Structure formats: C-alpha cells, structure tokens
C-alpha cells in the first residue's frame, strides 16, 4: 500500500491538485487530499507531473519492430506490451489482420495464454478480417478475404472470452451471424467495407457497435444523396469509432468533425505496426507478405497504400491537443476512458477512481511519458 503524491491528477472527469492517489494490492483505494494521508504511509513523489489513467489502444498490429501477424506468439505480445508502455499504453488489443483459419485459431490460443498470465494488459484479441470486402481491402491480403462459414462462426462464438473485437464488412455478412457474434460477447465492428448507408445501418441494427479506423477503408459521404458508411456511423446514436490521429490517415478537419458528431464515442487508436517505437533504423517491414516502407513516419507499400501507422498513443494525444485543438482533458479521455467504455471495461479501467485497477501513466509537462504503472506496479 502506497500513495502517489505531488502530482496533477486527471481523474477522467476533473483535475485535482494537492491530492494523492492511494494504491493497495494493485487497485486504487482512495483519492484524497494530501493532508489526509496517514504519516506512516509510504509515498512516491511525482514532482508535479501529470497523472492520468493509462492509455488503451484498441487497434495495435505491432510495435517495437514486431508484428503480431508475423509471429503469433506470447513473446510478440510481451514485446508489444513492453514497447507500448513507453508511450503510456497500459492495455491494448493485439490486432490480427486477414489470415488463414489456422492463424486465427493460433492467435486465440496465444492471446488466451497471455491474458491468463498478465492481467489488465492485453484485454482481448482484435480480428480485423478476413470477412471484409475486397473493394476496400487496403493492405490486407486479397487471397485470404473470404465468407464466414459455420465452423469458424462456431469457433469464434465459443471464444468470445478471448476475442474482444471483430472487424467485418456488414454487406458481406448475414445479420444473424453478426447477432450471434455479439451475443457471444464480441464487439462487432464495421471496417474494410464498401457498404451503402442502408447496408451499414442493417449491420448496426444486427449488433455492430464500433467503426474501425473511421474514414479509412470505408465508403465516405459522397454527396447529399449518398451518406455511405461514414454517414451511417454519424447517424447512429450508440456506435463507437476509432480514429487514427497522425496527420496522415485522416485530415485534421475530419477529426474535428468526427469529434463534434460522436463526442464521447470517439476513441483514439494507433493502428500501429512494427515501426511504432522501433526507432529510425527500421526502414521497412513485412505485413502479411507485403513489403511496407517507412518514410517520414508513414508506412506505405510500393503502390502507396497505407500499411498501418507508426503512431503511438501519447503522440496521438499530443496531436489531439496541438493539431486538432481539443482540451487536454478530452484528449486524455479519448485515449483512456472512452476506449474502456467502448469495450465494456470501464468498471475496472479508463479513469482514476476508487476500486479501479491502478493502470496509470505519469506525464511530463510536454506530454512525454515519465513512467507508467500496471496493476499498481511501476514499470520502470
């Protein structure tokens, strides 16, 4: 049991000064005025730093030089976790893009094993594909995009405790299949889709509750007569969305527009790849058989198709403040509280309040990461 003191605390709702966060057995046991602390309680002085709930990345393909698709193993997840901590990310969804059935089964087994050993770090697997639309495949391997069959549907539903999120194209999947996935506890997301507005709304009615990398790999609002998938997302009162705020994937004005419409249902995501947190020496990597070049922070194949990003969560938070013009409090919520709510994890994560897991990030004044805590333990 110990206290974190001399810090600017952002609880997720308000800023607190001259307060302390008391941590006991990995959870927050009190948030109280500093003067109320028992004199004998050990404390860690944060020297005026900012203390927030740790960031939650709902779309992480890889980082630190590794890709989950490239090596589906616990060692890869450990590298992703270790690398993510440097950017303030204490929890994430490892993302496996369009793959053969065998790889998907392996990813489920590996994720299950890792989660059993490391609580509140990997929050579940994100399967991005293969049940998407070839017309909006992006960098996903075309040869692996296919319909969802009954054996795999049964497998996916039986592992809803491990598969946190699944991205598919609503126009390529039966509404009853979407409903079954949702009933199994899986957050069904639309993405890599060429759906019309009506097709997207049918999928949302069947159980889709999230939009993967909003604007990217989906039909835009073409004109007043064609709302597209983006229009369907904006016209739905309950759907959450992830957005990549790196200045490359989405124009700043579109980020602002999305925030005005979706508000607390808009989550910062990275869609990061091996390039994130790897340093300038990494100039290329393999993404499911495609060579991706890293140039000026962009990840592009030889045809100029975006292959994920090199974004980190803390860089995304800075971009939300400096490029988009959002208040710091809202940027922090987009990186922590809103993702926790989207995945139904906000009873344990996403803000600083009594009873929640002490997954926290300590930030310097320039919004660089000073330290993180996972399950109440400092990671450095």
Residues with catalytic function: 271
H-assigned helices in 207-292: 228-234, 252-262
3-state secondary structure of 34: helix
Crossing angle between the packed helical segments 313-322 and 328-335, to the nearest 10 degrees: 150
**343: Cβ–Cβ under 8 A, 6 or more apart, which residues?**
56, 58, 93, 123, 124, 164, 165, 187
CA distance 290 to 265: 33
Alpha helices, H only, the chain: 74-85, 101-117, 150-158, 175-183, 197-206, 228-234, 252-262, 313-322, 328-335, 337-342
Q: How far apart are CA 219 and CA 30, in angstroms?
A: 47
**For residue 200, how many other CB atoms are within 10 A of its CB?**
29
How many Cα atoms sit within 13 Å of 289 on the Cβ side?
Answer: 8
For residues 191 and 168, is the Cβ–Cβ distance under 8 A? Answer: yes
Backbone angles phi, psi at 96, to 5 degrees: -105, 115
Q: How far apart are CA 247 and CA 230, in angstroms?
A: 19
Evaluate whether 242 touches 57 at the Cβ level (below 8 Å). Answer: no
Q: How many whole angstroms separate alpha carbon 7 and alpha carbon 361?
A: 12
Q: What is the largest CA-CA distance in the chain?
A: 68
> Any idea what DSSP says for residue 248?
S
Phi, psi (rounded to 5 degrees) for 192: 45, 55
Q: Which two tokens stand for residue 245?
A: 């705020």
Coil, helix or strand for 304? coil
CA distance 217 to 307: 12
Q: Which two tokens stand for residue 59?
A: 């779309």
User: What is the C-alpha separation between 256 and 20, in angstroms, rounded?
Assistant: 34
């Amino acid at each position: 049991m110990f206290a974190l003191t001399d810090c600017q605390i952002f609880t997720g709702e308000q800023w607190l000064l001259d307060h302390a966060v008391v941590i006991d057995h990995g959870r927050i046991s009190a948030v109280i005025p500093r003067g109320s602390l028992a004199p004998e309680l050990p404390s860690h002085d944060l020297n005026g730093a900012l203390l927030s709930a740790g960031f939650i990345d709902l779309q992480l393909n890889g980082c630190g030089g590794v890709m989950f698709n490239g090596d589906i193993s616990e060692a890869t997840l450990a590298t992703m976790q270790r690398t993510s901590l440097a950017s303030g990310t204490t929890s994430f969804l490892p993302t496996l893009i369009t793959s053969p059935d065998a790889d998907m089964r392996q990813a489920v087994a590996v994720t299950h094993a890792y989660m059993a050993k490391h609580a509140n770090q990997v929050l579940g697997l994100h399967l991005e594909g293969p049940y998407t639309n070839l017309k909006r495949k992006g960098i996903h391997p075309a040869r692996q995009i296919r319909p969802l069959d009954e054996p795999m549907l049964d497998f996916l539903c039986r592992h809803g405790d491990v598969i946190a999120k699944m991205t598919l194209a609503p126009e390529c999947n039966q509404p009853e299949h979407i409903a079954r996935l949702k009933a199994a506890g899986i957050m069904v997301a639309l993405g890599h889709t060429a759906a019309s507005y009506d097709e997207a709304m049918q999928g949302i009615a069947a159980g889709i509750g999230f939009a993967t990398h909003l604007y990217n790999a989906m039909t835009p609002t073409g004109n007043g007569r064609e709302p597209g998938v983006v229009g369907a997302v904006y016209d739905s009162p309950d759907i959450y969305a992830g957005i990549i705020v790196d200045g490359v994937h989405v124009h700043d004005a579109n980020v602002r527009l999305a925030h005005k419409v979706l508000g607390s249902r808009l989550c910062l995501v990275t869609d990061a790849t091996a390039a994130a947190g790897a340093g300038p020496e990494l100039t290329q990597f393999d993404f499911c058989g495609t060579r991706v070049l890293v140039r000026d922070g962009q990840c592009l194949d030889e045809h100029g198709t975006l292959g994920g990003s090199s974004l980190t969560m803390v860089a995304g938070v800075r971009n939300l403040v400096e490029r988009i013009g959002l208040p710091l409090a809202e940027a922090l919520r987009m990186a922590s509280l809103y993702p926790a709510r989207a995945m139904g994890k906000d009873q344990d994560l996403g803000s600083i309040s009594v009873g929640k897991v002490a997954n926290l990030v300590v930030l310097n004044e320039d919004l660089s990461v000073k330290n993180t805590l996972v399950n109440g333990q400092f990671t450095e």
